[in-house]
Amino acid sequence: MIRVLIVDDERVVIDSISILISSRDDMEVVGSAQNGYEAISCIEAATPDVVLIDISMPGLSGVETTKQIKDRFVGPPEIVILTTFALNQMVLAALNAGAQGFILKSDPPQDLFNAIITAHRGDALISPKMLRSLITGLATKEAPKTNAEVLSSKCSSRELDVLALIVNGLTNADIASQLYISENTVRSHVAHLREKLMVKSRAALVAKGWELRQ
Protein backbone atom coordinates (compact mmCIF):
# COMPACT_ATOMS: atom_id res chain seq x y z
CA MET A 1 0.00 0.00 0.00
CA ILE A 2 1.47 3.35 -1.06
CA ARG A 3 0.86 6.07 1.53
CA VAL A 4 0.16 9.44 -0.12
CA LEU A 5 0.12 12.97 1.28
CA ILE A 6 -1.58 15.66 -0.84
CA VAL A 7 -0.41 19.28 -0.59
CA ASP A 8 -2.36 21.98 -2.42
CA ASP A 9 -3.70 25.37 -1.36
CA GLU A 10 -7.07 24.60 -2.96
CA ARG A 11 -9.26 22.23 -0.97
CA VAL A 12 -11.22 21.22 -4.09
CA VAL A 13 -8.02 19.90 -5.67
CA ILE A 14 -7.18 17.91 -2.53
CA ASP A 15 -10.67 16.44 -2.42
CA SER A 16 -10.64 15.53 -6.11
CA ILE A 17 -7.29 13.76 -5.90
CA SER A 18 -8.34 12.02 -2.68
CA ILE A 19 -11.38 10.59 -4.44
CA LEU A 20 -9.22 9.30 -7.29
CA ILE A 21 -6.69 7.68 -4.97
CA SER A 22 -9.41 6.12 -2.82
CA SER A 23 -10.56 4.20 -5.90
CA ARG A 24 -7.29 2.25 -5.83
CA ASP A 25 -6.56 -0.82 -3.74
CA ASP A 26 -2.81 -0.16 -3.70
CA MET A 27 -2.85 3.46 -2.47
CA GLU A 28 -4.25 5.43 0.44
CA VAL A 29 -4.34 9.10 1.40
CA VAL A 30 -2.75 9.49 4.82
CA GLY A 31 -3.12 13.24 5.09
CA SER A 32 -3.42 16.59 3.37
CA ALA A 33 -2.01 20.08 3.77
CA GLN A 34 -2.72 23.46 2.21
CA ASN A 35 0.76 24.95 2.48
CA GLY A 36 4.36 23.87 2.78
CA TYR A 37 4.63 24.37 6.51
CA GLU A 38 1.61 22.14 7.13
CA ALA A 39 3.11 19.58 4.76
CA ILE A 40 6.29 19.26 6.83
CA SER A 41 4.25 18.73 9.99
CA CYS A 42 2.08 16.15 8.25
CA ILE A 43 5.12 14.21 7.06
CA GLU A 44 6.37 13.96 10.63
CA ALA A 45 2.98 12.63 11.78
CA ALA A 46 1.82 10.51 8.83
CA THR A 47 5.13 9.26 7.32
CA PRO A 48 3.89 9.10 3.71
CA ASP A 49 5.73 7.24 0.97
CA VAL A 50 4.89 9.81 -1.71
CA VAL A 51 3.95 13.48 -1.42
CA LEU A 52 1.99 15.24 -4.15
CA ILE A 53 2.85 18.96 -3.98
CA ASP A 54 1.35 21.87 -5.87
CA ILE A 55 4.22 23.95 -7.27
CA SER A 56 2.43 27.29 -6.77
CA MET A 57 1.45 27.87 -3.16
CA PRO A 58 1.44 31.03 -1.03
CA GLY A 59 4.20 31.32 1.54
CA LEU A 60 6.41 28.31 0.88
CA SER A 61 6.40 27.33 -2.79
CA GLY A 62 6.31 23.76 -3.98
CA VAL A 63 9.97 23.97 -4.99
CA GLU A 64 11.08 25.30 -1.59
CA THR A 65 8.84 22.80 0.22
CA THR A 66 10.46 19.99 -1.74
CA LYS A 67 13.93 21.24 -0.87
CA GLN A 68 13.10 21.49 2.83
CA ILE A 69 11.60 17.99 2.89
CA LYS A 70 14.65 16.47 1.21
CA ASP A 71 17.05 18.36 3.48
CA ARG A 72 15.16 17.83 6.72
CA PHE A 73 14.14 14.17 6.74
CA VAL A 74 16.25 11.04 6.82
CA GLY A 75 14.86 8.69 4.18
CA PRO A 76 12.43 11.38 2.97
CA PRO A 77 9.30 10.56 0.98
CA GLU A 78 9.42 10.80 -2.79
CA ILE A 79 8.01 14.02 -4.23
CA VAL A 80 5.70 14.38 -7.22
CA ILE A 81 5.03 17.96 -8.27
CA LEU A 82 1.56 19.01 -9.41
CA THR A 83 1.21 22.00 -11.71
CA THR A 84 -1.17 23.66 -14.13
CA PHE A 85 1.36 24.92 -16.66
CA ALA A 86 4.44 23.28 -18.21
CA LEU A 87 7.07 25.90 -17.41
CA ASN A 88 10.58 24.59 -18.09
CA GLN A 89 12.35 26.77 -15.52
CA MET A 90 9.99 25.62 -12.77
CA VAL A 91 10.40 21.99 -13.82
CA LEU A 92 14.17 22.17 -13.62
CA ALA A 93 14.08 24.03 -10.30
CA ALA A 94 11.81 21.37 -8.77
CA LEU A 95 13.89 18.50 -10.12
CA ASN A 96 17.06 20.06 -8.78
CA ALA A 97 15.34 20.49 -5.41
CA GLY A 98 14.74 16.74 -5.27
CA ALA A 99 11.37 16.09 -6.93
CA GLN A 100 11.02 12.62 -8.45
CA GLY A 101 8.09 13.31 -10.76
CA PHE A 102 6.17 16.10 -12.42
CA ILE A 103 2.53 15.86 -13.49
CA LEU A 104 0.03 18.30 -14.94
CA LYS A 105 -3.27 18.66 -13.09
CA SER A 106 -4.98 18.28 -16.47
CA ASP A 107 -3.35 14.90 -17.14
CA PRO A 108 -5.65 11.85 -16.98
CA PRO A 109 -5.96 9.96 -13.67
CA GLN A 110 -3.89 7.04 -14.95
CA ASP A 111 -0.93 9.39 -15.47
CA LEU A 112 -1.27 10.52 -11.86
CA PHE A 113 -1.36 6.91 -10.65
CA ASN A 114 1.67 6.06 -12.79
CA ALA A 115 3.56 9.02 -11.35
CA ILE A 116 2.84 7.90 -7.78
CA ILE A 117 3.79 4.27 -8.48
CA THR A 118 6.91 5.24 -10.42
CA ALA A 119 8.11 7.68 -7.74
CA HIS A 120 7.47 5.10 -5.01
CA ARG A 121 9.80 2.60 -6.68
CA GLY A 122 12.49 5.26 -7.07
CA ASP A 123 12.15 5.97 -10.78
CA ALA A 124 11.38 9.28 -12.45
CA LEU A 125 8.25 10.23 -14.32
CA ILE A 126 7.53 13.52 -16.02
CA SER A 127 4.20 14.21 -17.69
CA PRO A 128 4.54 13.38 -21.41
CA LYS A 129 3.28 16.86 -22.32
CA MET A 130 5.83 18.47 -20.03
CA LEU A 131 8.67 16.20 -21.13
CA ARG A 132 8.20 17.21 -24.76
CA SER A 133 8.30 20.87 -23.76
CA LEU A 134 11.32 20.35 -21.51
CA ILE A 135 13.33 18.46 -24.11
CA THR A 136 12.47 20.98 -26.82
CA GLY A 137 13.57 23.84 -24.58
CA LEU A 138 16.82 22.18 -23.57
CA ALA A 139 17.55 21.11 -27.13
CA THR A 140 17.60 24.76 -28.23
CA LYS A 141 20.35 25.59 -25.71
CA GLU A 142 23.90 25.49 -26.95
CA ALA A 143 25.89 23.06 -24.82
CA PRO A 144 29.27 24.27 -23.59
CA LYS A 145 32.17 22.69 -25.46
CA THR A 146 33.63 21.39 -22.23
CA ASN A 147 30.61 19.25 -21.32
CA ALA A 148 32.05 15.98 -22.63
CA GLU A 149 35.29 16.63 -20.78
CA VAL A 150 33.39 17.45 -17.58
CA LEU A 151 31.39 14.23 -17.75
CA SER A 152 34.34 11.99 -18.64
CA SER A 153 36.43 13.45 -15.83
CA LYS A 154 33.72 12.79 -13.24
CA CYS A 155 32.06 9.59 -14.44
CA SER A 156 33.19 6.18 -15.63
CA SER A 157 32.27 4.98 -19.11
CA ARG A 158 29.70 2.58 -17.61
CA GLU A 159 28.15 5.38 -15.57
CA LEU A 160 27.88 7.44 -18.76
CA ASP A 161 26.13 4.50 -20.44
CA VAL A 162 23.65 4.37 -17.55
CA LEU A 163 23.13 8.14 -17.66
CA ALA A 164 22.36 8.05 -21.38
CA LEU A 165 19.72 5.36 -20.83
CA ILE A 166 18.22 7.26 -17.87
CA VAL A 167 17.87 10.33 -20.09
CA ASN A 168 16.06 8.14 -22.62
CA GLY A 169 13.52 7.19 -19.94
CA LEU A 170 14.57 3.61 -19.21
CA THR A 171 13.87 2.08 -15.80
CA ASN A 172 16.51 0.29 -13.73
CA ALA A 173 15.17 -3.05 -14.96
CA ASP A 174 15.36 -1.91 -18.60
CA ILE A 175 18.91 -0.61 -18.12
CA ALA A 176 20.02 -3.83 -16.43
CA SER A 177 18.62 -5.87 -19.32
CA GLN A 178 20.19 -3.69 -22.00
CA LEU A 179 23.63 -3.50 -20.37
CA TYR A 180 23.61 -7.13 -19.13
CA ILE A 181 24.17 -6.15 -15.51
CA SER A 182 22.12 -6.61 -12.34
CA GLU A 183 19.57 -4.11 -11.07
CA ASN A 184 21.66 -3.72 -7.91
CA THR A 185 24.58 -2.66 -10.08
CA VAL A 186 22.36 -0.18 -11.90
CA ARG A 187 21.18 1.27 -8.59
CA SER A 188 24.80 1.63 -7.53
CA HIS A 189 25.66 3.48 -10.74
CA VAL A 190 22.63 5.76 -10.30
CA ALA A 191 23.67 6.58 -6.74
CA HIS A 192 27.21 7.41 -7.90
CA LEU A 193 25.86 9.58 -10.73
CA ARG A 194 23.65 11.51 -8.33
CA GLU A 195 26.61 12.11 -6.03
CA LYS A 196 29.06 13.07 -8.78
CA LEU A 197 26.62 15.33 -10.65
CA MET A 198 25.27 16.77 -7.38
CA VAL A 199 21.58 16.11 -7.96
CA LYS A 200 19.02 14.90 -5.44
CA SER A 201 16.82 12.64 -7.51
CA ARG A 202 16.72 10.37 -10.52
CA ALA A 203 14.45 12.87 -12.27
CA ALA A 204 17.07 15.56 -11.81
CA LEU A 205 19.55 13.25 -13.53
CA VAL A 206 17.37 13.42 -16.63
CA ALA A 207 17.56 17.22 -16.61
CA LYS A 208 21.29 17.19 -15.86
CA GLY A 209 21.91 14.67 -18.63
CA TRP A 210 20.25 16.95 -21.16
CA GLU A 211 22.13 19.97 -19.88
CA LEU A 212 25.48 18.18 -20.14
CA ARG A 213 24.98 16.55 -23.51
CA GLN A 214 27.50 17.47 -26.21
Judgement on whether residues 18 and 88 belong to the same structural domain of the protein:
yes
The rounded average pLDDT for each run of 10 residues, N- to C-terminus, in the chain (214 residues) is: 94 94 95 93 93 87 90 91 72 80 87 91 75 54 51 79 82 88 90 84 75 61
Which burial class, exposed, middle or buried, applies to 203 when counting CB atoms under 10 A from its CB (0-12, 13-18, 19+)? Answer: buried
Give the domain CATH number at 44. Answer: 3.40.50.2300
Spatial CA neighbour of 103 closest among 54, 64, 35: 54
Judgement on whether residues 127 and 202 belong to the same structural domain of the protein:
no
Q: Which of 137, 154, 183 finishes a domain?
A: 137
How many domains, in total, are found in the chain? 2
Q: What's the one-letter identity of residue 157?
A: S
Q: Which of 137, 167, 183 finishes a domain?
A: 137
Q: Which of 118, 137, 156 finishes a domain?
A: 137
Q: What is the CA radius of gyration of the chain?
A: 17
pLDDT (0 to 100) of residue 139: 47
Q: Which domain holds residue 103?
A: 2-137
C-alpha dihedral over 121, 209, 67, 133, to 10 degrees? -90
Cβ(16)–Cβ(42) below 8 Å: no
Judgement on whether residues 131 and 26 belong to the same structural domain of the protein:
yes
pLDDT (0 to 100) of residue 34: 93
pLDDT (0 to 100) of residue 96: 80
Judgement on whether residues 106 and 178 belong to the same structural domain of the protein:
no
Give the domain CATH number at 188. Answer: 1.10.10.10
Cβ(113)–Cβ(1) below 8 Å: no
The total number of residues shown for the chain amounts to: 214
CB atoms within 10 A of CB 89: 8
Judgement on whether residues 69 and 151 belong to the same structural domain of the protein:
no
Rounded Cα–Cα distance for residues 43 and 38 (Å): 9
Judgement on whether residues 185 and 103 belong to the same structural domain of the protein:
no
